[in-house]
Amino acid sequence: MTNHLYLVDAFAEQPFQGNPAAVCVVGECPKDPQDLERWYQKVAAEMNQAETAFLMPAPDGWALRWFTPVNEIDLCGHATMASAHILWETERAKPESAITFTTKSGKLICRQTPLGISMDFPSEPVVERDAPDGLIAGLGSQPLYVGKNRFDYFVLLDSEETVRRLQPDMAELSKVPTRGIIVTAKATGGFDFVSRAFFPLEGVPEDHVCGSAHCGLGPFWRERLKTDEMVAFQASPQRGGIVHVRCAGERVFLSGRAVTTLRGELLA
């Protein structure tokens, strides 16, 4: 059996925008669970993307796991979008059908909509916290607010310009014991809010468009903007991308488009 490998730009209207993710549709792999874990991690390190997604058929859809170059993680938006895109594009799933992924964050459902691929994700509200050591020094900017959810720290800054101009000190940010550090501000035009996302302890200094961060950004900005539906822009200097956000109780729906840039077979 063949392990099929793809590279997909998620939250992108055309190639070389948005956030690239590797997707491996697993055909042949080690049977021993510990060997399988090591194999997943080696493949992810080889691909060296923010995340590599691994897909295997499951009774009610597909089993999905995500690995950074150094760790497995519990939730990833752009690699989920990339996975759904590949399943539809390769006709492993019917275009009109929803796809159910079994993951470490429960059942995640993807559908095709006029806005692109819509992902049904858990809401991850942010609770105010004191700034931990390394955070302010690492960002080089004074926050208006610091909060945290089960994954990341969230930092509200004074303006979109400040978010865009940040040049973080990754050595300092690496002192913060967390998955990631998300900075955000109200947008000045065209979007509701902007953000950037840094994951130095996960081997990803800056994630170009982080879907799972918007599970916290959605409810955070919903409280401030008094609306359930928002259009966000993640302002990575290298790429960036648009995320459509809709808050619905304990769920957050994230939508965007994806483009395949590479198809191949994994020989190792």
Q: Which residues are catalytic, by number?
A: 51
Strand partners, 144: none
- Cβ(105)–Cβ(73) under 8 Å? no
Strand partners, 9: 20, 259
DSSP characters over 104-153 = TTEEEEEEEETTEEEEEEE----EE-PPPTTHHHHHTS--SEEEE-SSEE
Q: Are strands 229-234 and 193-199 parallel, antiparallel or unpaired?
A: parallel
Residue owning tokens 């948005």: 18
- Cβ(112)–Cβ(95) under 8 Å? yes
Q: What are the b/e assignments for 32-71, b being 16+ CB within 10 Å?
A: eeeeeeebbbebbeebebbbbbbbeeeeebbebbbbbbee
